[in-house]
Amino acid sequence: MQTLKIALQKSGRLSEISLGLVSEAGIALTNGKRTLLAQSNTFPLEVLYLRDDDIPQYVADSVADAGIIGEDVLLESQHTLEIVHRLGFSRCRMSIAVPKDQNYTGISWLNGKKIATSFPNILQGFLNENKITAEIHHLNGSVEIAPAIGLADCIFDIVSSGSTLISNGLKEVEVVLQSEAVLVAAPGLSEEKRVILDNFLFRIKSVLAARDNKYILLNAPNDKLDEICRVLPGMKSPTVTPLAIEGWSSVHSVLSENEFWSIIHQLKDAGAQGILVIPIEKMIL
């Protein structure tokens, strides 16, 4: 039987998250990241541990069948790979930032400026799209200090919280794109490997759905059931079962993490009592 070879970051912002996802999907690996290649005895999968910048090339050359990388890394590599699924974690934005004392008046301000970045291809595409002529300084690290030492007028870099910009006297002025982790596949996968990839994705989606949702149980007076059920979205509709106490029922449902706190207050206002919120280990949609 064939195995699916997937490339993961050996270290970096996606490494631990990706490995945790694989583990939660019930895929145990035989050895750690000290070796280039790890195998699973519980799923037809092999893991290649690589530098994040190398993953697109390995997948494009079909050395690896699939990979988990940041969308920013994929776009910068300029390789044409299939984005099988957007994974929804390691979100960040890629932005232009200028010294905080600069009077930034819009994209045209960038004309004739020197811009420091570790992502020259993405930046050049943005400049071309907006008909801006600027000088790009390609740096491999410490991009944020470039304006302070006179190397550049501004920078283009990944922004998460923005604290690094603030500590270096910069302000974010243009969001060029939003990025997140993506599962990518090599061109021309065999039918057998495509089936394994689909099964892998099924497991991953189940884990991600569980992370994003909570199981909720509550007690409700029967005369408030209609109002409470309208508040609860559920996967289809809430489950309602009678309690031993006459006039009361138990209501079970699933809430997304984003809706959780606002809906909890609505439920209490509608008369719900004894609300229990339970993590979900796996969620099959």
- The DSSP symbol for 223 reads G
- The DSSP symbol for 21 reads H
Q: Are strands 114-117 and 170-179 parallel, antiparallel or unpaired?
A: unpaired
Which superfamily does CATH assign the domain made up of 4-90+180-210 to?
Periplasmic binding protein-like II (3.40.190.10)
CA 85 → CA 68, 70, 181, 235, distances in Å? 10, 12, 9, 21
Q: What is the pLDDT of residue 234?
A: 58
How many whole angstroms separate alpha carbon 212 and alpha carbon 280? 9
Fold type of domain 213-279: Alpha-Beta Plaits (3.30.70)
Same topology between domain 92-179 and domain 213-279: no
How many whole angstroms separate alpha carbon 156 and alpha carbon 17? 25
> What is the average pLDDT across 166-184?
95
**Reported pTM:** 0.84
Reported as a single tens digit per residue, the pLDDT across 214-251 is: 899 999 999 999 999 888 865 667 889 999 999 999 99
Reported as a single tens digit per residue, the pLDDT across 85-129 is: 999 999 999 999 999 999 999 999 999 999 999 999 999 999 999
Reported as a single tens digit per residue, the pLDDT across 105-117 is: 999 999 999 999 9
How many whole angstroms separate alpha carbon 66 and alpha carbon 23? 17
Burial of 224 (0-12, 13-18, 19+ CB in 10 A): middle
Question: For tokens 């697109």, what's the residue?
Answer: 56
The mean predicted confidence, pLDDT, of the chain is: 92
Contact 213, 277 (CB under 8 A): no
What single letter denotes the amino acid at residue 118?
A: S
Joined together, the tokens standing for residue 69 give: 């990388």
CATH number for domain 92-179, candidates 3.90.1150.10, 1.20.1070.10, 3.40.190.10, 3.90.550.10 = 3.40.190.10
Reported as a single tens digit per residue, the pLDDT across 30-53 is: 876 567 889 999 999 999 999 999
Q: Are strands 92-99 and 170-179 parallel, antiparallel or unpaired?
A: antiparallel
Domain ranges of the chain: 4-90+180-210, 92-179, 213-279
281 confidence band (pLDDT: 50, 70, 90): confident
